[in-house]
A and B are shown apart, each in its own frame.
Chain A
Amino acid sequence: MSKKYLKKMAATLLVLGLAVTGCGNQAAAPSGSSSSQPEATGDAIKIGLPLPMTGSEATYGKDMENAIKMAVDEVNANGGVNGKKIATVTGDDACDPQQATAAANKLVSAGVVAIVGGYCSGAVVPTLTIYNEKNLPYVVEAANSSKIVAQNQGNTYLINGTAVHQTQKAVELFKKLGAKNVAIVEQGDAYSSDLAKQTESAWKEAGNTVISHDVTTKGEQDFSSLVTNLKSKNADLVFWTAYYADGALLIKQLRQGGYKGAIVVGDGSSDPKLVQMAGPAGEGTYVLSPPVAEFLPAAKQFADAYKAKFNQTPGAYAPLAYDGMKLMADALKRAGSTDGKAIIKALADTKDYAGLAGKVTFATDKTLKESNFIVLQIKGGKFVLQ
């Protein structure tokens, strides 16, 4: 997640840089209102897509837009919604809070009835009130900061998992593996520490014990004394919450030290480099990961269609982007009108909506009731869905 934060900073800097060097026009006036079904706009239901189309996150924005348009084409081919076709209007937020506000106002004045999209949390947060004032329902597809949950005005629903959902999945996995003596290892930074502490309290709440909670120093390569400690305490599951580089070292040294129990790592370590660096010691390691199309059985057809249409593999957030638009179309159908309040109510009533990335039902805080994190395992030198 802090990776995403860095990307955001980079994007902000890039945008600033562009503005300073006089290319500001391009960044400040986004390609903006590009309607996808011009022949239908007269009598179509307009849905706004706030996405980063310029800047360093543009690849993700474009990828999500592609997936959303696939969903729209599908809905329209099947007769549209309530007798009308769906048309999309893209607003470029450039992953920048200020530009996101401008893009949001633009979408509102374009007369959209619902909002689908949102990649950068920093660009989503300032737009929440703008959409809420107009009673526009908003399905946030990729952004997952706890700030969005905290500042939600009531019209916003998140379909990507948050830290809470990762914790939930971790506890589920620990139970499945029959762990008794769980040991948690973190690195003291905000991200790994947060995940470690939340998991510890959730695991304890479920009536289990955490035998140790260790903090290691980033960049230190030697974990041997920690390994000896974990072995002497008879740990049967070690949960690493920080990033892959040091995680690979820990995995190696655990196996080298003769540790036989399970090893689980958080999504900061879900990187192919982990497999490469841990080598044979990595075999059998469990990895918590956000739902990636490559590993979702339900997304196979989607991935093939995406490849055929856009001549590239769908990115990390394409399945969620597709799900978000289909969910909005479903809510529109169930609401039977384009009235904001009715759609919001329909979204709230969503029950077990089957998307590519898993089932969608919303909890009271308007995030997923059930975690959409997936569990991968390293087998034969690559990640395999568990």
Chain B
Amino acid sequence: MSVFYIVIQQIVNGLILGSFYSLVALGYSMVYGIIKLLNFAHGDIYMAGAFVGFGALGIFGSILGVGWAGITVALLISMILVGILGMLVHRLAYQPLLNKRAPRMSLLITAVGVSFTLFNGVMVLTNGEYKAFTTSLGYEGISIGPVNITYTQIVMVVATAVLMLCLYWFINRTMYGKAMRAIALDQDACRLMGINVTKTISLTFFVGSALAAAAGVMAGVYYGSIHFYMGFIIGLKAFTAAVIGGIGSIPGAMLGGLILGLLETAGTQLPFIGTAWKDVFTFGILILLLVLKPTGILGKSEIERM
């Protein structure tokens, strides 16, 4: 394989990895944008999405098969149910604190608590076992020279792009999106204008969680196994991606995810030092990036209270 093809293949690898990060990062960014909360339970929402999708595929797979039809139905069911889970988390855990204007740190700790509750709950329900996410998808695909791209990979990237475009349209072209953006600017003014702030925040949680659920189901399909702890690492990475892109910014989260995916892939390609140094390289670059532009690539500078 010539260097050219290796580079192309690695860029493809990086983009696929990055699109998972982006989808999860969007949820972090949206929630932060609207209520300035770092929702550390978001990685576990992604995990819950994978398990709900797994269950739905188990039920509907017998009717629709475990091919694309079954997966699409499982994906939609998971997005709706986990979206509702996200709303429940907001209503039960966060909104009471927001109502009392609790300090931001209390909200943050609540988020950590929700994270532990979710993954320990799933651990008990699944006996901590790995579940094989069995589908009938094969490895067929297109080859350009020695570069392989499977159809599954293409569908994953296209689906991610479609979801992001939908989100972009929703935020910028609908009434609800306008309400979200308005609340991000000034909650009290929104209340005076007759916008139902609590409901809109709930909706934000629904959308963010649904996107994470989509990523969870796609990761289950793509990698083939799911586990109660699978949300931990990706949660941290997606959070990183959101910060790199500029937390609170929707295009920033998309961009941050892709950059992180590409950087990680590049990290395994370094000459002389082993793959064990991959994360050191990746996060070294990220620290440098933040030193140069503390608000992230597309972030706006504002005074932080945390």
CB within 8 Å of B: which residues of A?
188, 213-217, 219-222, 224-226, 228-229, 231-232, 245, 248-249, 252-253, 255-258, 273, 276-279, 281
Chain B hits for A252, CB < 8 A: 223-224
Known contacts A231-B1, A232-B6, A279-B224; A220/B274 CB under 8 A = no
Q: From the candidates B17, B225, B232, name the one contacting A277 in the complex (CB within 8 A).
A: B225
Sample 23 A-B pairs with CB under 8 A, ordered by A number.
A216-B275, A217-B278, A217-B279, A222-B13, A222-B223, A224-B16, A224-B265, A225-B13, A225-B265, A226-B275, A228-B10, A229-B268, A231-B146, A248-B224, A248-B225, A252-B223, A252-B224, A253-B223, A255-B139, A256-B150, A258-B148, A273-B130, A279-B132
Q: Counting CB contacts under 8 A, is B227 at the interface?
A: yes
How far in angstroms is the closest Cβ of chain B from A162?
26
In the complex, per-residue mask of B1-27: 1 if CB is within 8 Å of any chain A CB, else 0: 100001001100110110000000000
The answer to whether B214 has its CB under 8 Å from any CB of chain A is no
Q: A101 to B54, alpha carbons, bound, how many Å?
A: 50
Hey, which bits of chain B sit against chain A, CB under 8 A? Answer: 1, 6, 9-10, 13-14, 16-17, 130, 132, 134, 139, 143, 146, 148, 150, 219, 223-225, 227, 229-230, 232-233, 264-265, 268-269, 274-276, 278-279
- The smallest beta-carbon distance between A254 and chain B, in angstroms, is 11
> Which chain B residue has the least Cβ–Cβ distance from A257?
B148
Q: A224: which of B17, B146, B225, B279 is its contact (CB, 8 Å)?
A: B17
Q: Report whether B275 and A232 are in contact in the complex, using a CB–CB cutoff of 8 Å.
A: no
CB within 8 Å for A249 and B224 given contacts A225-B14, A229-B268: yes
Bound Cα distance from A237 to B151, whole angstroms: 26
Q: B233 touching A219 by the CB < 8 A rule?
A: yes
Name the B residues within 8 Å of A225 (CB-CB): 10, 13-14, 264-265, 268-269
- Name 17 extra pairs, CB < 8 A, besides A222-B16, A278-B224: A214-B276, A215-B274, A216-B275, A217-B279, A219-B229, A219-B232, A221-B219, A225-B268, A225-B269, A226-B268, A226-B275, A231-B146, A248-B225, A249-B224, A257-B148, A258-B148, A279-B132
Q: Which residue of B lies closest to A217 (CB)?
A: B279
Closest B residue to A276 using CB positions: B132
Asked if A277 and B139 sit within 8 Å, CB to CB, the answer is: no
Q: How far is the CB of A3 from chain B (nearest CB, A)?
A: 14
Q: How far is the CA of A248 from the CA of B225 in the complex (A)?
A: 9
Is B264 a contact partner of A277 (Cβ separation < 8 A)? no
Interface centre among B16, B132, B150, B224 (most CB of A within 10 A): B224
In the complex, A188→B130 CA distance in Å? Answer: 21
Q: In the assembled complex, how far is the CB of residue B36 from the closest CB belonging to chain A, in whole angstroms? A: 30
Q: Of B17, B139, B232, B275, which one neighbours A256 at CB under 8 angstroms?
A: B139
B269 to chain A minimum Cβ distance, whole angstroms, is 7
In the bound complex, residues from chain A placing their C-beta under 8 Å from that of B223 are 221-222, 249, 252-253
Assembly CA distance A212 to B132 (angstroms): 29
Beta-carbon contact of A215 and B233 below 8 Å: no
Nearest residue (CB) in A for B138 is A280
Q: How far is the CB of A221 from chain B (nearest CB, A)?
A: 5
Contacts of A219 in B (CB 8 A): 229-230, 232-233
Contacts of A281 in B (CB 8 A): 139
Q: Is the CB of A221 within 8 A of B230?
A: yes
Chain A to chain B: the 7 pairs with minimum beta-carbon distance, closest first: A215-B276, A224-B13, A225-B268, A225-B265, A232-B1, A214-B275, A277-B132
Contacts of A216 in B (CB 8 A): 275
Give chain A nearest CB distance to B5 CB in angstroms.
8
From known contacts A225-B14, A225-B269, infer whether A249 and B150 are also in contact, taking CB-CB under 8 Å. Answer: no
Select from chain A the residue with minimum beta-carbon distance to B16.
Answer: A224
Would A214 and B274 be within 8 Å (CB), given that A228-B10, A231-B1 are in contact?
Answer: yes
Taking a contact as CB atoms under 8 Å apart, the answer to whether B279 and A249 are in contact is no
The answer to whether B9 touches A228, judged by C-beta atoms less than 8 angstroms apart, is: yes
User: Smallest distance from the beta carbon of B4 to chain A beta carbons, Å?
Assistant: 11
User: Considering the chains assembled together, what is the distance between the CA atoms of A276 and B226 in angstroms?
Assistant: 13
Residues of B within 8 A of A214 (CB): 274-276
A279 to B275, CA, bound (A): 27
Interface centre among B232, B268, B279 (most CB of A within 10 A): B268
Q: Which residues of A contact B224 (CB under 8 A)?
A: 248-249, 252, 277-279
A217 vs B283: C-alpha distance in the bound complex, in angstroms? 14
Given A213-B274, A249-B224: A229 touches B269 (CB 8 Å cut-off): yes
Q: Which of A213, A232, A276 has the most CB of B within 10 A?
A: A232
Chain B residues closer than 8 Å to A224, beta-carbon distance: 13, 16-17, 265
Question: In the complex, which residues of chain A have a beta carbon less than 8 angstroms from the beta carbon of B230?
Answer: 219, 221
Q: Is the CB of A228 within 8 A of B279?
A: no
Chain A residues lying within 8 Å of B130, measured Cβ to Cβ, are 245, 273, 277
CB distance from B151 to the nearest CB of A (A): 11
Instruction: Give bound CA distance, A153 to B268, whole Å.
Output: 47
Q: Which residues of B contact A188 (CB under 8 A)?
A: 276
Return chain A residues, CB-CB under 8 Å to B264. 225
A245–B227 contact, CB under 8 A?
A: yes
Contact B6 A228, beta carbon cutoff 8 Å: yes
Chain A residue nearest in CB terms to B261: A222
Closest A residue to B8 by CB, please name it.
A228
Which of A213, A214, A253, A277 has the most CB atoms of chain B within a 10 A radius of its CB? A277
Interfacial chain A residues near B268, Cβ < 8 Å: 225-226, 229
CB-nearest residue of chain B to A215: B276
Q: A225-B14, A245-B225, A257-B148 are contacts. A220–B134 as well, Cβ < 8 Å?
A: no
List the A residue with the shortest CB-CB distance to B265. A225
Q: How far is the CA of A354 from the CA of B35 in the complex (A)?
A: 73
Residue of B nearest to A243 (CB): B130
Give the distance to chain A from B77, nearest Cβ to Cβ, in Å: 23
How far does the Cβ of A246 sit from chain B's closest Cβ, in whole Å?
Answer: 9
CB-based contact B227/A279 at 8 Å: no
A-chain residues with CB within 8 Å of residue B14 when the two chains form the complex: 225
A229 to B10, CA, bound (A): 9
A216 to B275, CA, bound (A): 7
Cα(A221)–Cα(B269), bound, Å: 18
